Chain A
Amino acid sequence: ETGVTQTPRHLVMGMTNKKSLKCEQHLGHNAMYWYKQSAKKPLELMFVYSLEERVENNSVPSRFSPECPNSSHLFLHLHTLQPEDSALYLCASSQEVYADTTYEQYFGPGTRLTVT
């Protein structure tokens, strides 16, 4: 496997369910990200991790809970979601996240989530 992979690719869940999205990067990067992409809206940054440490949390509701067990894996745990949370959830990685240089971000294919 190369690049950034995400599973599942599609997910339908009820508002009372608990599910997890998984992301894995095979690029040797130190930074990983979760984004939300809704129709007619720009990509919204949700969380940023640098070497397994969360460094940014963009006012995301607590029903979204990230986990980064190591620099290659990132999870997004979901519980009691709302229908407006239906969107494409994209994982990305980059070499670093520090301010002196902005590195290209490589995206996974995304998980298309529908909350019913």
Chain B
Amino acid sequence: DTGVSQDPRHKITKRGQNVTFRCDPISEHNRLYWYRQTLGQGPEFLTYFQNEAQLEKSRLLSDRFSAERPKGSFSTLEIQRTEQGDSAMYLCASSLGGQSYEQYFGPGTRLTVT
């Protein structure tokens, strides 16, 4: 296991198209997080899974965004009808536990909406 992986690393899409990103966490980690990072800002929390259950969603996550984690393994983040404001780095992280545990981050997927 080489850590958290994300695919694709880069995605360029036209406004209005749908995109889907994948995250493969570290295999024994039951917690998975999605964050979004725009230029000059720190990562912002989007959503959190414990196993297959999505337990929290940020108000940043509009109804165009949906995330899944079937069988508690990999996760997907889909953005429908993309807008230019969706251009950002989308980061995935996984951890073994809650508040005090280290989160291991993936390399991110950079989305550019033209």
Q: Tell me if chain B binds chain A.
A: no
